């Protein structure tokens, strides 16, 4: 059985995150997708909300979906939230499961700058999904991907839905083209600061939580 691991700041979580996770779950027949909010990401943004709020919003967004669950694994660990340590812990928690690390093209391209990238790539299979403003041919710049431009162009031009290969070591990488919802957490935060509606960009429960706690009304 396979489990999807979906990490991020979720600042805030929105329908783009949820729809992407559902596309991957269905395509790969995942037993479940575990959302892991980053408590203290190494590259902390100035606009990053307190971790407790981001965790609660993620919890609210996942409520009622039997295939989605939240993990506080990074909240129990002191210091920076390194993905390599998270995957090591997930292996211990789910020793009989195959782990699939879900991330966008943009995040995958940053892996060389992450903590212990070579170790990270050996801990799970990687599912790299399409992202607004990025193309699959951008993966050619990654030192970990060996693929022809033609294969990636087929994804960009919708002539293929996915591409699969191996990374250094035994891990498998799959590039998956999914329908994109042009929603971003940055845009949601901007709209809230400007007093504009964010309805239908994120779950109502998350919107209500943001309003009740007066989140994002000014720079954190």
Q: How far apart are CA 54 and CA 38, in angstroms?
A: 9
Per-residue pLDDT tens listing for the chain (220 residues) = 999 999 999 999 999 999 999 999 999 999 999 999 999 998 766 678 999 999 999 999 999 999 999 999 999 998 899 999 999 999 999 999 999 999 999 999 999 999 999 999 999 999 999 998 899 999 999 999 989 999 999 999 999 999 999 986 679 999 999 998 989 999 999 999 999 999 999 999 999 999 999 999 975 4
Q: Are strands 98-104 and 162-166 parallel, antiparallel or unpaired?
A: unpaired
**Calculated CA dihedral for residues 130, 193, 213, 78, nearest 10 degrees:** 50
Checking phi first, is residue 35 left (phi over 0); if not, alpha (psi -120 to 50) or beta? beta
Q: What is the CATH number of domain 2-182?
A: 3.40.50.620
pTM for the model stands at 0.94
* Per-domain residue ranges of the chain: 2-182
Q: By three-state DSSP, how is residue 182 classified?
A: coil
The interaxial angle of helices 51-62 and 204-212, nearest 10 deg, is 150
């Amino acid at each position: 059985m396979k489990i999807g691991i979906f990490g991020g700041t979720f600042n805030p979580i929105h329908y783009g995150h949820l729809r992407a996770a559902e596309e991957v779950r269905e395509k790969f027949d995942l037993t479940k997708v575990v959302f892991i909010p980053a408590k203290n990401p190494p590259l902390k943004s100035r606009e990053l909300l307190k971790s407790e709020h981001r965790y609660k919003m993620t919890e609210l967004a996942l409520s009622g979906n039997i295939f989605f669950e939240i993990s506080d694994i990074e909240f129990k660990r002191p210091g920076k939230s390194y993905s390599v340590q998270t995957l090591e812990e997930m292996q211990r928690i789910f020793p009989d499961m195959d782990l699939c690390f879900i991330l966008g093209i943009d995040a995958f391209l940053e892996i060389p700058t992450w903590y212990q990238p070579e170790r990270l790539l050996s801990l799970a299979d990687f599912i790299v999904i399409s992202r607004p403003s990025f193309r699959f041919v951008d993966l050619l710049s990654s030192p970990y991907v060996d693929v022809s431009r033609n294969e990636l162009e087929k994804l960009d031009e919708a002539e293929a839905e996915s591409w699969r290969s191996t990374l250094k070591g035994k891990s498998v990488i799959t590039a998956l083209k999914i329908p994109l919802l042009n929603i971003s957490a940055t845009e949601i935060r901007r709209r809230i600061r400007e007093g504009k509606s964010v309805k239908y960009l994120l779950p109502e429960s998350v919107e209500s939580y943001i309003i009740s706690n007066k989140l994002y009304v000014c720079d954190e």
